[in-house]
Structure formats: structure tokens, C-alpha cells
Amino acid sequence: MTVSARLALAEPGSPGEHRGRASDLRAMAAASACLGTVGTLVLLSRQVAPPIIGYAGALAVGGALVSLLLWRPVALTARTVLLVAAAAHMLALFGHTVFEDDYYRFLWDGWRVLEAGTPYGVPPAQFIDDPALPPAWQAVLEWINYPELPTIYGPALQAVFAALAAVAGTDPLGLRLAFAAAALGLTALVLRRHDPGRAALFAWNPLVVAESTLHLHPDILMALALFAGLVAGRRHPIAAGAFLGLAAGIKIVALAAWPLLLRLRPRALATAVAVLGALYLPFALQGQGIGFETTATFATDWYFNPLAFEPLLWLLGPGIGRLAALLLAGLLVLRLHARARDIDSVPLAAIFGAILLFAPAVNAWYLLWLLPFALDRREVWPYAASAALPLSYLTGLNLELYELDGFALHPLAQLAEWVVIGVALGFELWRHRNRGQPAAAAPTPLAAPHLAVVIPAYNEEASVGATVRGIRDAAPPGLAAIFVADNASSDATAAVAAAAGAHVVPAPERGYGAACLAALAALDPGANVVLFMDADLSDVPEDAAALLAPIIAEEADLVIGSRTTGVIEPGAMTPPQRLGNWLAPTLVRLIWGVRYTDLGPFRAIRRDALDRLAMGDRDFGWTIEMQVRAAKLGLRIAERPVRYRKRVGQSKISGTVRGVIAAGWKILYVIAREAFGDFDRANARRAAAPPPRSPAILAAATSGSRP
């Protein structure tokens, strides 16, 4: 609702009118703070000797003020957001780039691409005494930092630098205009996904204006490409892949966002790989490298303004500390990707924040990677960081404090950064803990439990009859039916099960999950609790009551029979089974934060909860799929200790090397698929098109006697 419409609905003097006026005042103050901060930076930058403390302080205070004024919702229009942002970037065009010299490298790289076809492989220092070098480019060369190293910047940036060098030569105005246009283009995309009042939190942030248009850092181009890929998303997977490939061609750190492509159709990832390869190929063919040698130098040697990397360095030393930081950041990035339910909920701000948290070098402009993505959850810490990291300009060189190393940050500035960012992260953790996991939908009370037992069976004639009779005798009141899914047995499994009183459902497609799905398709609609167990007498039917009790008492939606916490008969589980039973629950706990101790087949679940899981695995991944999806949906999960006996006959999985390998691979595959798949979309698709109940299955389900 616009400001005028909202005020029209409020009576004069009403609380709504007062709130509307306060919102308008905060919006005006935020716009003024943005423009005032940028104007101050421009004026200071044009001085002969700009005061670095005043410059960094203005940027920090302005960022904090704009964020505070806009944190509570304000009523704005998209046009107003764009106009104020455009005015801020236009102001920045008149500034001088001080305290930063990276842009000289950009100018040089562009010229080298035009002259030699590639900027890679040859360091600028080789041209210092070259008499053929034009005077204008000699002046640029004198200001390049680390001239002894070849360029580190990606091929997509080299194309931009070359185009700007061809048009503007050594004038940085070309870079200013390009980066300002990118920032405004990103603002327009942000406005497509967010309310204008929220979008202004990014668009009016003085750090966004300063680090793109005033300080001339190309990170805004990577943010633009990433956000465009996110907007393209599911509807245009090829475009999404192309934009993410382009983002990695701008800065290789964009690869941290690539796992979200796994949530799209395969052609999205293929397109990203193709685009990135096409960007690097023309430079690679020239045989002078593609910048990775300098990237390796950066990764192993550079050190500036670290955050969590600092204690790792103290504790473990440079080599092991960097390796530990890389592993911790990588694991955190993968976990954040895996916990997202779909592409729209991938927390890119937190993902890039994890990288910066453990990075050995942290600059203020790196925040451009994540600020536009922090709007999704209204995360505090990125905007707190945008007010703190401008203090990273307070180095020994800029402060002219010669007792400090040139690129060493003043200790008080570093302490202030740590305090502000640490408090913001602590607040986020506190808020997340209080908010907790999204609660599952409130279950319908079980007025009367109607239990259906599902027993998949393949060549179990020696044990299936005793299993059926055992669960019939042990089940509490309310047992509706026992379904044995005959998984194309070649023996008398079906006949023995029917004689014992089970409904026999033919499941011609081989596979544990396929058998379970066939039985579920035949269940009576009135069955509201489902119990799964094996047909080989390894599960003890008398333990069923313990599994069903929490569901009947409405304390749980899913109850797993835990053999690990129960009693396992000697020889009942093989070493590979025990290893898999430890590894898979450990991975689930690391990724989704839900603690399981077992993948046991003996389990009970509410029928409505089972329907929400939209189970689809056809073979060995059935049990882990159920447990992972229950964790992702926030179901109430419990475990109860059960006994586990030696099975009758030979196991089809643990009894053969091939079965062990196939089952282990499938379990890991299902965990990866559920981690990086688009669960919400798949769930909706399955719910919209449930598997049909064939006449053959229906006929079989009504055969046999009801126990």
C-alpha cells in the first residue's frame, strides 16, 4: 500500500495516521542519510589529503543509520527506491577513488586484452622499462598493486575491462558508469522479489554505493549475475545456469552458489559448466594460464582483517590453520545448502557469510556478495557488518602509523569489527533458537487408532507366516489389516502369508520401496496409523506396542524402532550394516540437526504424516528417505529401543557383497538427493498426481481373511 493510500484510510489523529507519518519520516531520513553520507564521502575524496578516520567513520555511521531507519517496515514505491539510489550513484560519479588502487589493475587488464588478447601469465612489472609502453599506460602501471603477480580476475571481468578500455581508455569514468549501472540493475531485480521498503535496505546502503561506484570494485557484477540467476530460477533453468556460470566467470567464489543448480533440471548445471568453460577457453588456448596461479598465491599467502580465521591461525599455524578454515567453511556451506527445502530458500547470504567468516582476507567490498540476499530473512548480521567493515580502511598505511605494517589493521578498529559482528551473530543465533524449527502442521487427533501393518516380502515362505501371526497377536486393539507385499517371490511366500491371514498385495516391481508403495496403495482409507516391519522374523512383534504408544498418545508422528539402543542378538547385524547404521544417521544429524540412532525397518507412522512425506524411493533408500523427509518437514519424531534377532534365511542386502555396496550407495545417494533436491516442488508434484491403485492391486487387497 502506498503512503497516500494508507493515510487516506487513517482517520486524522488516529494511531494509524501517526504510524504512517512516522514511517514517512523514517523513509525521508533514510534517504537523506544515504545521500548525505555519499555526498560527504565525495567531498572528502576530493581533498588533497582526505582524513581516513573521518572518511571511514562517515561510511560506517551512515550505513548504521540507514539500516536502523529502514529496519522496521516503511511505505515506499519502487520508483522512489530507484530514484534515490540513482541519485546516490550519480553523486558518487563526482568522487575520486582514494584509499583504494585496485582499479588500476582493471584498466591495465583491459588494455592488455586489447593489445595481446590475454592479461594472464605476464606480470605488469615486466613492462616497467618498456619504451614502447604509451605514457598514459605507463602512469597506470606505476599505481598497480602487486605488479610482480599476473592478474587474478576472471575472464568475464576481462571482457568488461577490455570493452571499457576500448571506450574510455585510462579514464576510470567508464568503470564508474558500468558499476553504477550494475548496482541499479541489481536494485531493479531486488525490487522484483521484495517490497520496496525492504529493497531500500540494500539499495540505499552507503557501502553498496561506495564500494561499487566510488571505490570501483567489480563484486557488484557478481552479485548482479547471481541474483539474476536466482530470479530466473525454476521457470528458466537454462538462464539460471547461464547467469551462475557468468557469476563464476566474474569471481570464482560464486561456485559456492552452484549447488542450488542441483535443485533445477540437469540442463541448468550443464549450462553453467558450458558458460564458464566458454569464458575461460579463449584465454586458455593462448597458453599463458587463466589466473589460477595468482589465485593459489592469494589462497596460501594473503592475510588481511580475518575474523574466525584469526584463532585458527593462532592455534594451528599458517598451513594447517588455512586447511582447517577451508574445511570448516566448506562443510558449513554444504550444510546450509542441504538444509534448504527449495531453490528459493537457499540462504546465499549465510553461505557467503560462512566463507567470509573463515577467510584469511576480508575486505568491505566482499559484502556486496551477500547483502542483496540478506533481505530474504531480514538478517541482522550482514547489515551490522556493513557498518563495521568500513573500519577495515584504518590500516597502518592509510593512518600513516609507521609502527604498524602497511596493511595491518589498527587493533582498535579490528576489535570494534569483532564486537559489532559478534554481537550481531549472537543475536541471530538467539533469535533462531527462540524461533525454533518451523512447526509441522497440527495433527488431527486420533479419536480411534486404526492400524495397518505393511510387511514387504521376497522369498520369505519360511518366516512370513510366523511374522503375520506374531504381529496379529501382539498388535493393540484397532488393527485394521495386515498387508504382505509379495515382491515377485519365486517361492510360496504369497500362499503362506494368505494362509496366516494377511492380505497379499502383488508387487511385481522388485525393490523394498516398490513393495511398500504397492501395499500403501491398497490400504483402507480409514487406516490412520501404519506399522512397517520385515518378514524375516528379525523384528520382534511384541515390540510393536512400544512403537505405537507415542503415536496413539499423540506424542509423535513417526516412531523408529532403534536396534542400536535396544538389544541386538549376536550375529544379527554384519559390520557393514553397523557402519552404515552409524554413518547415515550421523550425516542426517550434521545436515538437518535431527538425531537418529538407527535406520531400522521396524517403525510406525501416522497416515497423514506419511502422506505428507510423498514417499517415492523404490528400493534400499526407503527408510532413509522417510527419516530425512520427516526431519525436513519438522515432524514429531521419537525412537524406542527394540530387539533384533538373526533373520530366517539369507539377507538379500547384507547377505551379499553386491547387496551391501548397492544399499550403501543408494542410502548416500538419497541423502545427497534430499539435501540438494527441490523437496517442496517434488512433494507438490507427487501430491497432485498420486500413484493409481490398479484393479489388480485392489482385487488382491480384498482377498484373504481380515485378522
Contacts of 256 (CB under 8 A, 6+ apart): 333, 351, 352, 355
Kindly calculate the radius of gyration of the chain based on its CA atoms and give it in whole angstroms: 31
Cell of 370: 551477500
Given a cut of 90, whether residue 201 has pLDDT beyond it is yes
Of 23-32, 505-514, 652-661, where does mean pLDDT reach its minimum?
652-661
What average pLDDT does this structure show over 490-506? 94
Residue 182 identity: A
Look-up: residue for cell 500500500?
1
Burial class (CB in 10 A: 0-12, 13-18, 19+), 458: buried
Cell of 120: 594472464
DSSP 102-164: HHHHHHHHHHHHHHHS--SSS-GGGGTT-TTS-HHHHHHHTT-SSTTS-----HHHHHHHHHH
Distances (CA, A) of 566 to 242, 535, 551, 558, 681: 52, 19, 19, 18, 37
DSSP tag of 361? B
What average pLDDT does this structure show over 23-46? 94
Cell of 704: 484373504
DSSP 294-309: HHHHHHHH--BS-STH
DSSP 568-618: E-TTSS-HHHHHHHHHHHHHHHHHH----S---S-EEEEHHHHHHHT----
Which domains occur in the chain, in start order?
A: 98-171+217-255+264-302 (no CATH), 451-701 (3.90.550.10)
Q: Grade residue 663 by pLDDT with cuts at 50, 70 and 90.
A: confident
- With CA atoms as reference, report the closest residue to 369 among 164, 186, 172, 102: 186
Distances (CA, A) of 563 to 29, 476, 600, 630: 63, 21, 7, 19
Mean pLDDT rounded to a whole number for the chain: 88
Q: Grade residue 16 by pLDDT with cuts at 50, 70 and 90.
A: low
Are 628 and 670 contacting, i.e. CB atoms less than 8 angstroms apart?
A: yes
Q: Grade residue 463 by pLDDT with cuts at 50, 70 and 90.
A: very high
- With CA atoms as reference, report the closest residue to 478 among 535, 526, 444, 442: 526
**What is the reported pTM?**
0.82
Given a cut of 80, whether residue 644 has pLDDT beyond it is yes
Q: Grade residue 530 by pLDDT with cuts at 50, 70 and 90.
A: very high
- With CA atoms as reference, report the closest residue to 145 among 260, 318, 304: 304
Of 286-300, 542-556, 659-673, where does mean pLDDT reach its minimum?
659-673
More confident site: 166 or 692: 166
Angle at 575 between CA 574 and CA 581, to 5 degrees: 90
Q: What is the pLDDT of residue 232?
A: 93
- What count of other Cβ atoms lies within 10 Å of the Cβ of residue 492? 16
Q: Which long-range contacts (CB under 8 A, 24 or more apart) does 579-583 make?
A: 580/663, 580/664, 580/667
Provide the phi-psi class of 435: left if phi over 0, else alpha when psi is between -120 and 50, else beta. alpha
What average pLDDT does this structure show over 148-168? 96
Q: What is the pLDDT of residue 442?
A: 59
Given a cut of 70, whether residue 382 has pLDDT beyond it is yes
Angle at 296 between CA 292 and CA 301, to 5 degrees: 150
Look-up: residue for cell 530460477?
233
Q: Grade residue 548 by pLDDT with cuts at 50, 70 and 90.
A: very high
Cell of 29: 531520513
Are 37 and 81 contacting, i.e. CB atoms less than 8 angstroms apart?
A: no
What average pLDDT does this structure show over 320-339? 92
Q: Tell me which H or E stretch contains 638.
A: strand 637-644
Are 241 and 275 contacting, i.e. CB atoms less than 8 angstroms apart?
A: yes
More confident site: 171 or 648: 171
Q: How far apart are CA 218 and CA 237, in angstroms?
A: 25
Angle at 175 between CA 173 and CA 179, to 5 degrees: 120
Q: Which residues pair with 504 in a beta bridge?
A: 484
Q: Which long-range contacts (CB under 8 A, 24 or more apart) does 619-622 make?
A: 619/510, 619/511, 619/512, 619/513, 619/514, 619/666, 620/511, 620/512, 620/513, 620/653, 620/662, 620/663, 620/666, 620/667, 621/513, 621/666, 621/667, 621/669, 621/670, 622/512, 622/513, 622/516
Torsion, CA 568, CA 572, CA 576, CA 580, rounded to 10: -40
Q: How far apart are CA 343 and CA 260, in angstroms?
A: 6
Given a cut of 60, whether residue 699 has pLDDT beyond it is no
Given a cut of 50, whether residue 1 has pLDDT beyond it is no
Q: What is the pLDDT of residue 702?
A: 38
Given a cut of 60, whether residue 597 has pLDDT beyond it is yes
Q: Which residues pair with 456 in a beta bridge?
A: 485
Q: What is the pLDDT of residue 440?
A: 52
Tens digit of pLDDT for each residue in 241-292?
A: 999 999 999 999 999 999 999 888 889 999 999 999 999 999 999 989 898 8
Given a cut of 70, whether residue 48 has pLDDT beyond it is yes
- What is the side-by-side strand order in the sheet with 451-457? 503-506, 479-486, 451-457, 529-532, 603-606, 558-568, 637-644
Q: How far apart are CA 523 and CA 443, in angstroms?
A: 20
Q: Tell me which H or E stretch contains 454.
A: strand 451-457
Q: How far apart are CA 681 and CA 678, in angstroms?
A: 6
- With CA atoms as reference, report the closest residue to 170 among 123, 90, 108, 102: 108
Of 29-43, 115-129, 645-659, where does mean pLDDT reach its minimum?
645-659
Task: Look at the chain and count its residues.
Answer: 707
Q: Which of 199-213, 432-446, 499-513 has the highest mean pLDDT?
A: 199-213
Cell of 359: 577467510
Helix axes 155-168, 237-250, angle to 10 degrees: 70
More confident site: 183 or 552: 183
Q: What percent of the chain stands above pLDDT 70?
A: 89
Q: What is the pLDDT of residue 658?
A: 60
Q: Which long-range contacts (CB under 8 A, 24 or more apart) does 430-433 make?
A: 431/380
Given a cut of 70, whether residue 650 has pLDDT beyond it is no
- With CA atoms as reference, report the closest residue to 95 among 58, 53, 40: 40
**In this structure, is the dihedral angle defined by the CA atoms of residues 676, 680, 196 and 29, taken in order, positive or negative?**
negative
